[in-house]
A = this chain, B = another copy of it.
Amino acid sequence: MEKDKEKSLEWVIPALITLLNERGKIDFRLLEKQIEYLSSAGVHGFFINGTTGEGPYLTRDEKIMVYKHVREATGDKQLLCAACINPSTDMTIEEIHAFEALEPDFFVAVTPYYYEVPQEVIENHYRRIASASPFHIIMYNIPQCTHNKIEFETILNLTSEHNIRGIKDSSGDFITFSRGHEDVFPEHFSWIQGEDFLDGASLILGAHGLVTGLGNIWIEPYVELYREAKRGNASKVNDNQNKINRLYEIIRVTDGKAIPSIKAAVSLLGRSEKWTRLQSYELSNEETAKVKDVLSDLELL
């Protein structure tokens, strides 16, 4: 644990896509190619088996295999966050045990989902996870998927758990997020933006880092944005945020099919194939053409 204590979650962390072949199986060769691209651009670590990584649709064995491959590919240099998207407290704790030998730097847990639950259940969920976990825990707020938002007061309460080390907020609710800069969080607690549109403003306000799914396509403006924010150069932060906003168009042009769009774009750049775990969730040729146009406009193709 000594090692983990020194690492803190910050900087630019891509939410790695899970590369699949036509039969829906993981393509580890492509996975390495994608890791290589992101690492050489200067990312600080990887967020594995998350929402972008189709984690909820992967088996536990698959999640462990992906994790091991990424660790092998990155060595000990980079920070690895093992996301656990499981609907109940028990299932999450079971997965913690399954990852025990792998010693991820951070174990990232969503709220319960399927059932709508009150905040006290969310709070107890994280307390039980925290006390069961030998790893540092990151809370993952993504109410558009779990439909259980972690309220600001719940976050505050949970900072008292010593091994809850931060929150990744993908809610897109900047009002709640921005309350984090009120110096209310303890020093060991990281405050991570997970909605790409909000990266610039968040880092300027003092957020510790960003996790990005879109960055699988083009990670450079995220790395640049992070650096400029740390220098306090708002104008250059804006320039990079503009690039990210333009990249976001690949999701708008497909009416919100986020994962298929990201995979289509990375495919066009030669580092993925288009297949997703939800087999019928594909882009039409027309939609793929629109994604291509966005990449061309950005001179990525």
Contact = CB atoms under 8 A, between A and B. Distances in A.
B174 A198 contact: yes
A114 B113 contact: yes
A204 interface: yes
Given A114-B145, A145-B115, A179-B245, A57 B204 contact: no
Contacts of A90: 24, 57, 277, 279
A88 interface: yes
A239 to B, nearest CB: 10
Interface in A192-249: 195, 197-198, 200-201, 204-206, 232, 234, 238, 241-242, 245-246
Contacts of A259: 115
What is the count of identical protomers in the complex?
A: 4
Interface in A272-301: 277-281
A124 B56 contact: no
Contact of A234 (B115, B232, B245, B280): B232
A157 interface: no
Given A232-B234, A234-B205, A88 B278 contact: yes
Contacts of A195: 175
Contacts of A281: 117, 121
Contact of A115 (B118, B232, B278): B278
Interface of A: 24, 51, 56-57, 85, 87-91, 112-118, 120-121, 124-125, 128, 144-147, 172, 174-175, 178-179, 181-183, 195, 197-198, 200-201, 204-206, 232, 234, 238, 241-242, 245-246, 255-257, 259, 277-281
